[in-house]
């Protein structure tokens, strides 16, 4: 795995994890009963984005490390997950 693909893998994992973490403990204006006129009741009042970004970074690092070890070690190959035999080695 090259450095570029490792960085791209981490970025993809980070953003996917962030999208999962964003709604956790989200307090909306409707929940708190303080709806500002002209806004939706589902608009966030307290979003805690900085804290969620740090949590996302830690969780993503752990997930990335596991995937990095699996990819670089060769424990799991394409042949292992090819259920239908469509990825057979090329004939020489």
Residues 6+ apart with CB under 8 A from 43: 28, 29, 36
pTM of the model: 0.74
Q: Decide if 56 contacts 17 (C-beta within 8 A).
A: yes
pLDDT (tens digit per residue) in 2-47: 899 999 999 999 999 999 998 888 888 887 788 888 888 888 877 8
If pLDDT is split at 50, 70 and 90, which confidence band does 82 have? confident
């Amino acid at each position: 795995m090259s450095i570029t693909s490792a960085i791209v893998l981490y970025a993809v994992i980070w953003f996917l994890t962030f999208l999962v973490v964003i709604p956790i403990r989200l307090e909306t204006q409707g929940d708190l009963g303080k709806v500002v006129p002209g806004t939706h009741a589902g608009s966030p009042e307290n979003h805690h984005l900085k804290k969620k970004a740090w949590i996302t970074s830690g969780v993503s690092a752990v997930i990335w490390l596991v995937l990095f070890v699996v990819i670089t070690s060769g424990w799991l190959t394409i042949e292992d997950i090819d259920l239908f035999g469509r990825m057979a080695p090329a004939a020489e």
